[in-house]
Amino acid sequence: MKIFESLHSAMTSLLANKMRSMLTMLGVIIGVGFVILLVSLGAGAREEITANIQGMGSNMIMVAPFNIDLSGGISNMSSQAGAFMGVNRLSMQNIEDLSRALGDPDRVMPLFQKSGTMFNGRNQFSGMVMGTGHTYLAARGLEIAEGRFFTPSEQDSASAVVVLGQTGKKALFGDTDPIGKYITLKGRRLKVIGIQEEKGNMMMMDQDAFTYVPYTTATRIFGVNQPDMITISSETPDMVEPTVKLANEILSQSLSDDEFTIITQDDALSFAEDMTLILTYLLGGMASISLLVGGIGIMNIMLVSVTERTREIGIRKAVGAKTSDIMIQFLVESVMISLVGGIIGIIIAVIGSTGYTLILGMPATITPWIVVLAFFFSASVGIFFGVYPARKASLLDPIESLRYE
């Protein structure tokens, strides 16, 4: 039997049993659709995280109060979990030591991160309050949309000033201009002097929900004096490594290696890419199980089809059809089921990823290679799980087949 005759026969058989054919394709549709969708979500998340980390500024260096191994990937995450339960031993003295060694106090700033609820009359807003220095926004590459950031004198004198994010502004003031007005945080009135530019979401986290106050103000409001992190700005991107080396030497004089970790933009990028890549492969592998289930469904239905069409097989062999013709006929039918299911799955994945981006505002990047891979995988499933039923059909005895009722 020629290949075109096999295609025609397969199409006729599928159209004659539309409901059964669609149910047979369902496993492949779900498998292909979820493989593409989940991998595209992982790729989109990786791109977004990379863009946000790059937005931190290539000369930004962070000192965390724990020992964090950023080189071990997901394999060492369980062993690192205990590190985050350690005691924070960073101090303002560390900042003074670093400032003295670098020769510029504006390049070293503490970062206090505390949650708080702010009020403006009956309006209230709960978010993360960042107590930091006057150079923080510039070092992070952030911009002020309205007003200004606080000055060195306001920072040093614990001035009652605050810079809101876009989310906090809308919650507390709606559409009115907040510049020059006051909010209340933990019983202290703060004057709104600026609004940060809109940044959007990163991994379901609202980047516009942060509120900024001078770190000296934060220590008084929250009654703390230990920074949650220290930020260091190198003079140029080329000076990052020498700055890291110097900072490590200074901090090692008062802290053990288990009590701090220096993180650069490259470290954060490498760690984030490793994590999201592993997550992408993990999700894709889990979704691939649906393809295997779909393949088993195809094999079962094809075996039923062989049984139902035993007399047809006997007639074809009686009029001269070769064993290879019968095998090709059923193999083509199996592959066609799988390929049509794969195409439908690809369409559903494209629609789903587009809807995900539009509704949730999160990126989903469908790359050509994953579409080609999923399509090839669906065809392979049809071939792999179709060989046994096709071979069984081709080996039927023509005389016994003609007698089959």
Q: Over the stretch 321-350, which tens digit does the pLDDT of each residue have?
A: 777 777 777 777 788 888 888 888 888 888
Q: Is the pLDDT of residue 187 over 50?
A: yes
Q: Which residues contact 318 (CB under 8 A, 6 or more apart)?
A: 398, 402
CA neighbor of 295 nearest in space, from 62, 27, 97 = 27
pLDDT band at 86 (very low <50, low <70, confident <90, very high): low
Q: What average pLDDT does this structure show over 212-218?
A: 93
Q: Is the pLDDT of residue 352 over 50?
A: yes
Q: What is the pLDDT of residue 362?
A: 66
Q: Which residues contact 337 (CB under 8 A, 6 or more apart)?
A: 14, 21, 24, 25, 28, 298, 301, 382
Q: What is the pLDDT of residue 212?
A: 95
pLDDT band at 201 (very low <50, low <70, confident <90, very high): low
DSSP structural state of residue 108: E
Q: What is the pLDDT of residue 163?
A: 95
29-81 tens-digit pLDDT? 887 888 888 778 777 777 777 766 665 666 778 888 877 766 554 444 444 44
Q: What is the pLDDT of residue 126?
A: 92
DSSP structural state of residue 212: E
Q: What kind and span of H or E run contains 283?
A: helix 265-308
401 and 84 Cβ atoms separated by less than 8 Å: no
Cite the DSSP H helix spans in 103-164. Answer: 136-140, 152-156
44 and 363 Cβ atoms separated by less than 8 Å: yes
Q: Tell the residue number behind the tokens 């309205």, with chain if given.
A: 146
288-320 tens-digit pLDDT? 777 777 777 778 777 777 777 777 777 777 777
Q: What is the pLDDT of residue 203?
A: 52
Most confident by average pLDDT, 47-56, 168-177, 272-281: 168-177
- Residue with more model confidence, 384 or 194: 194
Q: Tell the residue number behind the tokens 């997550």, with chain if given.
A: 279
**Average pLDDT, rounded, for the chain:** 79
89-132 tens-digit pLDDT? 888 899 899 988 888 888 888 999 999 999 998 999 998 999 99
Interatomic CA distance for residues 27 and 290, integer angstroms: 6
Q: What average pLDDT does this structure show over 126-147?
A: 85
